[in-house]
Amino acid sequence: MERVIGIDLGTTNSCVAIVENGAPAVIPNRGGYKTTPSMVAVTEAGKRLVGHIAKRQAITNAENTVYAAKRLIGRKWNSPQVKNAVATSSYRIVEGPHTDVRIALRDKEYSVPEISAMVLQEMKIIAEDYLGQPVSKAVVTVPAYFNDNQRQATKDAGEIAGLDVIRIINEPTAAALSYGFGKNVEKTIAVYDFGGGTFDISILEIGAHGVFKVIATAGDTFLGGEDIDARIIDWLVQGFKEEHSLDLRQDRMALQRLKDAAEKAKCELSSVRETEVNLPFIISSGRNEALHLQRTLSRQTLEELSADLIERTVDICRQTLEDAKLEKDEIEEVVLVGGMTRMPRIQSAVAGFFEREPNKGVHPDEVVALGAAIQGAALTDDKQEMILLDVTPHALGIMTFGSVFEELIPQNTTVPTHRQKIFTTSRDNQTAVKIIVMQGENEDASANELLGEFILTGLRRAPKGTVEIEVTFEINADGIVSVRAKDLDTGLEQSIQVTASSGLTRDEIKDMIDASKDDLVDRRVSEDFEAAKQEAEKIVAEIERLFPQVEQIVASSDFGRDAIEKARAIVDKARAAIAKKDTAAVKEQLDGLTRTHRMFKGVVAKT
Amino acid sequence: MVLPAGINLTLVPRLTSFARTVDLRTLDLSPTDGFVLSRVDGVASGEVIVRTTGLDDEDVRESLASLVHHRLVEMPAIPNMSVRSAGSIMPHDLHTRTPGPKVSVIPASLDSSVKASISGSYAQVAVDRPSTRPRAGGSNAPPPPSQPFGQQQQPANPLNPSTFSGLGGRSPSAPPVRYNTPTTVAQAHVPPSQIPPPPRSSPMMSGAAQSPPSRPPPSGPVQVQQPGYVSPGAAATMAAASGSPPAEQQPYQSLDGIDLEPDFRTRIDELFSSMDTLDYYTLLRVDRSGDRKLIKRAYYELASHFHPDKYFRKNLGQYKAKMEAIFGRFTIAHDTLTSKVDRAEYDAYLGIRESVREQETRLSSAQEEIRRAEEEVQRAAQQSVAVSVNPPAEIRTAPGPASPNRPHIPTSPSRTFDAQAAREALARKLLGGAGAGRPSSTGMASVGARVSTVPGAPSAPPSAPGAGAPGTMNPRDAVDALKRRYEERIVDSRSAQVQKYKANAEALLAKGDWAAALNSLRVALSFDPDNAELNALTVNTQKQADEILSVNYEKQARYEEKAENWREAARSWAKVARARPNEAIAHERAANAILRSGGNMREASELAKRAVAIEPQNAGHRATLAAVYIGGGMMLNAKREIDAALQLSPTHPAVLHVARRLKEVG
């Protein structure tokens, strides 16, 4: 059976997981890290960088480094969020051919799904390296409030990355799956998810028979840990300015270091009361004398800097609880998700609002990917007894005359579901009607998101209002919306499956998939090399493991020193060969590695 | 002194231990040096530093040379390694991060104990390495250490606050740090309870290994306990009970390619066709008094069988849509019954719906009851004859044509048995087939005329005076006498029935059971149609019953309206309108519901017109009529109505809404 990976495609970091032998596990990347920055960059040489390496050069190559692409995915060029991003982003955001959003990196324009695809592809490769086999299916998570266009765009990104995204699920829902997986509990829980770029809250019920039911869900797109980092940077910059009358923001090297330091200080203040931000040689003064930044940031100061942001999350919690028609005391568990929930002030704010100590039993950075992996296994593995009953995050309906939005399926409706309503013609002798499918909560249709449209033709010629058309909305378990219009007179029927527009046409997606395939070929190394590399690495690891022991044993003898030096050289040579992706050179080193390994084993065994 | 030109950018610079202990501020460095130093992590090569800093090759070379000069950084010498470098931070060591003793962005003086702890934990990790995992590549590497919640990572480079360590293995200059077996690490974050037993020891796994992938049929107590639902997993449940795991079942193979077992298909088909008529409790198979928890459990149980995800990407054919529809229905039932307010309303609605149905059935059964009462009258009359004259056996054996009158032979009720009747019966018996030639319709005629031909005094002796002996009696006279007698009995019985039913009705009225009382009165009236008192009482009761019924219809209609069940609402409102012919609102609501349900526009317009006729000054009614006209395509009429409505109330929201629609349409 083919394995399905779970990917948490985050605003700032992404994570990939899989269910192995019935237990979900996160797959670390080559650096051993369980999360990978969701950043993509193109270097001057035209080389594409993804993940940590892209993050590290972010500020020095700011205009060609994309971060937080998730905030743009599936959005229209003219949306306020995009306008805002255009004003604040360091990379160039331009209008695409279908009023969609494109990102210009060096001399090429990329669609947002293409950018996200690069991150997804990275996650795919991490999983493939780990599993030693190709992976083609994935469950990808999105913020709960994502609309269909954003979800579709995420799916397209998966497709471009060569992944069949078998299901898109909400991040807090995934967290709940991970929390409740294998626990035989019946509980109503709240999942408070404060991540790098977004805030989400969901209320769910975990029931008997492995059923998870979402009750209500809400969130804020532009509220995350990055906002708190920005507050710290402001504070550092301000302090430095007061002391030296120099604006660190003018220096991109300084800014990169500030950003790194702010994030680190924030993380540290979760476990200590105060931390020192120490950045020697941060900038040169006017008299060409090096200046150092050294400041102590206390937890209390950080809390003051971020108080209003935290308060905003509590307000959203209050609203969601109302939507769910639940009282605080009906929430039996509060689960914290997202790196920001490590912050003590946030924990106490959540505890204060829900009047209960939050559960910290899940790993805030990994739980979402784990949940996605669990859902992937539940769908494809018959042995998994788990069913997720998800809801529609937004209302669905059609636009009627005068731009009035007629809601057919309300917000927070459990899927699969179907609803129908009867409409009528608006002109005399009207032989065709246009059904415009929309999503949103606004009565004014134009304020909602357009999902698709189709035309029902062949209506009987009759005075307006006499021909009746029954419109049926259906959302299946896969979250696919179908809309059917039926002429009640003649029984003629017309329907569409609403494939939300991600801003890309099918042809474009196809081209991108092809382009990405080329890219994939470019990025993946030959299997021959892979095999040699794995073997060499295995032996290197063995040698490394024995090094300390061998060193200790032979420390006194000259012979020993010699041997150790030799061994080191062989290991370094092997590593250099691997780094150069030189298959032949790696193979050359294998002999020496095996010999060294044998010798080391002998030395250890003797004593 | 290392010359800048001597710096090979393809090599990976490493921090020296000196860099970890020295106070950097005492050194003569430039901000660029500081920046480059902050990027040195033992993983990034000079080229990578060039790329990630955006500096020129020369700048990086110069800075690295300066850093090497200050003994902060060392460049590896390939192929000859210095022994000293063994102690430096190798890329590998990056995975041995341990929490530092001091948490600061730059631990300016990282003492040697940290270094020790780094290599110490390295050794430990190496020792703890998991046993080899079978994999395609066959390669294994030490796993990174676990980083439990809240624990901070200690970066390899104290100058580098980012948590970056490994570059992609595909980057040409990045060292290949690959970990293929982090299983144990990943599991370190899984609570022990979630870690399943090893696959080999799991019966589930071994079962699955033996059989091709098949869905273990769902099973549950509900199916077992409630035979009304045929469980797809019933067989499996039994198999499980008898000790064999479900996974060992033969996978179901269907002929049409649909991956559903026949039993489950039957269950889906049954539910799909019946679900619309079942009330929510019956649908979810819970008791009317079942609490929230019970309802939830029942729903979850059903959801775990009927949610289409259970058969993700399986071929379900037509059953997929059916399962989705069934699941949707379950959800509505669950959502309604688990909300306090909605459930109370639904219960009230169910109560009303049922009592209305009961009343309707009862009212429609008045004719049936009249027929029953009439039969009773006949039976009573016959019985009295049978008791007085004929042994039951004889009646049964007597040939019909030979005694056509027999069924109608009048007898007194057994309670009022008298000698005369006995004598007459005897006479008839003696006469035997005397009446054989008489057409059988005689008896029928007497019955047919039972209401109009009321004979005179019941005591009138049918026989001649002195007729003591049976033989002296004229047979024809005897028959006539019997006939009269019989008719008398009928009349007696009828009037008794009238009294009985009237008394019954009065008792029911006192109890407030209008429908039942009305039925009784109708029966009574059928026996005595000209009874003025009875007529008045019936009319009055009818009014009361209609009123009560209409109140219930209205409640029902309002609930249906709220649930946007417009078809039902249209029917219910129409009933209210019929019961209250002078109530405008009922007519208006009925018209509105028909309009919304897409029903008969003619009917809707009649109702709306009536509403306007009753309350001509109500702008809302006119708006509804106008909307109905628009629905019916009668734009001129609609315009006339809406103009009138606007004159009456220019700000009425409904009026404005319809006016706007008219404008759009017209």
User: What pLDDT, on a 0 to 100 scale, did the predictor assign at position B413?
Assistant: 46
Minimal-distance CA residue of chain A relative to B122: A545
User: What pLDDT, on a 0 to 100 scale, did the predictor assign at position B6?
Assistant: 76
Distance from CA of B217 to the nearest CA of A (A): 9
Contacts for A564 with CB less than 8 Å, ≥ 6 apart: A547, A550, A551, A554, B83, B86
Contact B81 A281 (CB under 8 A): no
Low-confidence ranges of chain A (pLDDT < 50): 516-525
User: Which tokens is A298 given?
Assistant: 């206390």
Instruction: Give the SS3 label for residue B497.
Output: helix
The shortest CB-CB distance from B186 to any of A26, A60, A182 is to: A26
Report whether B60 contacts B53 (CB < 8 A): yes
Half-sphere exposure of B604 (CA within 13 A, CB side): 29
| Residue closest to B595 by CA, chosen among A466, A114, A168 | A466
- Residues of chain B with Cβ-Cβ distance to A378 below 8 Å are 309
Q: Hey, what long-range contacts does B567-570 have (CB within 8 A, 24 or more apart)?
A: B567/B597, B567/B599, B569/B593, B569/B596, B569/B597, B570/B594, B570/B596, B570/B597, B570/B599
User: What pLDDT, on a 0 to 100 scale, did the predictor assign at position A1?
Assistant: 64
Contact B186 A28 (CB under 8 A): yes
Contact A401 B164 (CB under 8 A): no
Helix (H) or strand (E) holding A344: helix A344-354
What distances in angstroms separate CA B299 from CA A332, A409, B229, B333, B335, one per listed residue?
Answer: 20, 21, 14, 9, 10
Architecture per CATH, domain A396-498, reads as Sandwich (2.60)
Q: What are the pLDDT digits (tens) for A567-606?
A: 888 888 888 888 777 777 888 888 888 888 888 888 888 7
What are the backbone angles phi and psi of residue B460, rounded to the nearest 5°?
A: -55, 120
User: What pLDDT, on a 0 to 100 scale, did the predictor assign at position B210?
Assistant: 42
What are the backbone angles phi and psi of residue A111, rounded to the nearest 5°?
A: -80, 160
Q: How far apart are CA B413 and CA B382, in angstroms?
A: 9
Instruction: Give the SS3 label for residue A383.
Output: coil
Distance from CA of A117 to the nearest CA of B (A): 17
What are the backbone angles phi and psi of residue B135, rounded to the nearest 5°?
A: -150, 170
Looking at chain A, how many residues does it have?
A: 607
User: Which tokens is A101 given?
Assistant: 């959003």
Report whether B42 contacts B168 (CB < 8 A): no
- Residues of chain B with Cβ-Cβ distance to A49 below 8 Å are 51
User: What pLDDT, on a 0 to 100 scale, did the predictor assign at position B509?
Assistant: 84
State the alpha helices, DSSP H only, in A428-557: 506-523, 527-554
Half-sphere exposure of B515 (CA within 13 A, CB side): 15
Instruction: Give the SS3 label for residue B7.
Output: coil
Interface test with chain B among A121, A284, A572, A573, by most B beta carbons within 10 Å: A572
Report whether A280 contacts B106 (CB < 8 A): yes
Domain extents in chain A: 4-223+316-388, 225-305, 396-498, 527-606
- Supply the DSSP string of A121-149, one letter for each residue: HHHHHHHHHHHTS---EEEEEE-TT--HH
| Residue closest to A205 by CA, chosen among A192, A186, A221 | A186
Q: Which residues pair with A25 in a beta bridge?
A: A18
Contact A28 B160 (CB under 8 A): no
Contact A57 B331 (CB under 8 A): no
What residue ranges in A254-369 does DSSP mark as E strands?
274-284, 290-298, 333-337
User: Which tokens is B455 given?
Assistant: 């004979």
User: What pLDDT, on a 0 to 100 scale, did the predictor assign at position B249?
Assistant: 45
User: What pLDDT, on a 0 to 100 scale, did the predictor assign at position A342?
Assistant: 93
Residue A208 DSSP class = G
Q: How far apart are CA B666 and CA B663, in angstroms?
A: 5
Contact A27 B182 (CB under 8 A): yes
CATH number, domain A225-305, options 3.30.70.330, 3.90.640.10, 1.10.2020.10, 3.40.50.300: 3.90.640.10
- Residues of chain A with Cβ-Cβ distance to B151 below 8 Å are 271
Q: What are the pLDDT digits (tens) for B574-587?
A: 888 888 888 888 99
Crossing angle for the helix pair A367-380 and A171-180, nearest 10 degrees? 80
Q: Which positions of A are annotated as active-site residues?
A: 8, 70, 171, 193
Architecture per CATH, domain A4-223+316-388, reads as 2-Layer Sandwich (3.30)
Q: What are the pLDDT digits (tens) for B307-365?
A: 888 888 888 888 888 888 888 889 989 989 988 888 998 998 888 888 888 877 777 77
Instruction: Give the SS3 label for residue B94.
Output: helix
| Residue closest to B236 by CA, chosen among B226, B246, B227, B247 | B246
CA–CA–CA angle A267, A270, A271 (5° rounding): 110
For chain B, list the domains and their CATH numbers: 4-184 (no CATH), 219-338 (1.10.287.110), 564-665 (1.25.40.10)
At which residue do the structure tokens 């063994």 appear?
Answer: B86
Report whether A170 contacts A217 (CB < 8 A): yes
More confident call, B412 vs B351: B351
pLDDT at B112 over 60: no
Contact A53 B168 (CB under 8 A): yes
Report whether A121 contacts A162 (CB < 8 A): yes
Report whether A267 contacts A251 (CB < 8 A): no
User: Which tokens is B229 given?
Assistant: 């639902």
Q: How far apart are CA B73 and CA A412, in angstroms?
A: 58
Residue A484 DSSP class = E
**Residue contacts between A and B (CB atoms, under 8 Å):** 378
The shortest CB-CB distance from B105 to any of A182, A208, A261 is to: A261
pLDDT at B539 over 90: no
User: Which tokens is B484 given?
Assistant: 């009269």
- Measured from the Cβ of residue A459, the count of other Cβ atoms closer than 10 Å reads 20
Contacts for A519 with CB less than 8 Å, ≥ 6 apart: A48, A121
Q: How far apart are CA A422 and CA B599, in angstroms?
A: 10
Instruction: Give the SS3 label for residue B131.
Output: coil
Interface test with chain B among A184, A250, A383, by most B beta carbons within 10 Å: A383
Instruction: Give the SS3 label for residue B66.
Output: helix
- The ipTM estimated for the assembled molecules is 0.71
User: Which tokens is A151 given?
Assistant: 């979800």
Report whether B217 contacts B235 (CB < 8 A): yes
Distance from CA of B233 to the nearest CA of A (A): 14
Q: Which residues pair with A457 in a beta bridge?
A: A432
Report whether B40 contacts B14 (CB < 8 A): yes
At which residue do the structure tokens 């071929």 appear?
Answer: B315
Q: Which band of pLDDT confidence, cut at 50, 70 and 90, is reported for residue B253?
A: low
User: Which tokens is B504 given?
Assistant: 């019954």
Contact A464 B165 (CB under 8 A): no
